[in-house]
Amino acid sequence: MTGPALKSARLSARWTQQQAARRLGLTQAYFSMVERGRRPVSSSLAVEARRVFHLPPTALPLEPPGARAWTEDEFKSQLGALGYPGFGYLRRKPRHNPAQLLFQALDQPDLDARVVEALPWLASTFVDMDWDWLMRNAKLNDRQNRLGFVVALAGELAQRPGKTAHAARLTRLGGMLESSRLAREDTLCHESMTQAERGWLRKNRPPHARHWHLLTDLEVRHLAYAPA
């Protein structure tokens, strides 16, 4: 979250700086400096601002990639917190930005298949996430093929319920990733697969996986939450 974004949220709420500062536990003078970019929006302030202004999870702060290790339970609980039906029983308060969650998942060497299957849902549901941050870090860590594949499935997923605007944006994002597509072979968070599995997938993977040089058989039709 940036100072201008905080100002926009305040104006949408029709609050003065003094009213907003009081609700956030700040002085009006300090809040004014934050809005003007003279003071940073700290992680704690971003979390509190999201609560006070009822902002979406995409307003949560983004941590530097690799700052800490994530557990599979954390991926599941945060997907549930964001509304993913497959982990709805784990609903908790969202603590991570969807862009952060998507990148951290794609950066795992091995990940529970149920979490991997949730990634197209994440990309299509939070299409307003910070894609600049996400694509920049995906390229820096050679994860752009994984991201491109997930974006392709998300775009196909968005077309089914008629979310044409979402589908169009995801198509544009996929095009932006095309120029950085890697030629080397990769998996979709399943690096521990056997050589026999790799050989079978090279011959039988679906079109999106072949295009992005990934060894996976994941397709939209395999996703339990995808509309018929």
Distance CA 164, CA 166 (A): 5
Coil, helix or strand for 187?
strand
As given in the structure block, the two tokens for residue 61 are 């702060």
Question: Would you say the C-alpha torsion 143, 193, 104, 84 has a positive or negative sign?
Answer: positive
pLDDT in tens, 21-64: 999 999 999 999 999 999 988 878 888 888 898 888 998 888 88
Please give the CATH superfamily to which domain 3-55 belongs.
lambda repressor-like DNA-binding domains (1.10.260.40)
Burial letters for 83-109: b for 16+ Cβ neighbours within 10 Å, e otherwise? ebebbeeeeeebebbbbbbbbbbbbbe
Pair of tokens at residue 19: 């009213």
Token digits for 112? Answer: 């529970």
Residues of the chain with CATH 1.10.260.40: 3-55
Can you read off the two tokens belonging to residue 181?
């597509």
- pLDDT at residue 162, as a whole number: 73
Give the N- to C-terminal CA distance of the chain in Å, as an integer: 37
d(CA 92, CA 103) in angstroms, rounded, equals: 20
Residue 91: pLDDT band by 50, 70, 90 thresholds?
A: low
135-189 tens-digit pLDDT: 999 999 999 999 999 999 999 999 877 788 899 999 999 999 999 999 999 999 9
Do 15 and 6 contact (CB within 8 A), yes or no?
A: no
Q: How does pLDDT run across 197-222, given as a tens digit for each residue? A: 999 999 999 999 999 999 999 999 99
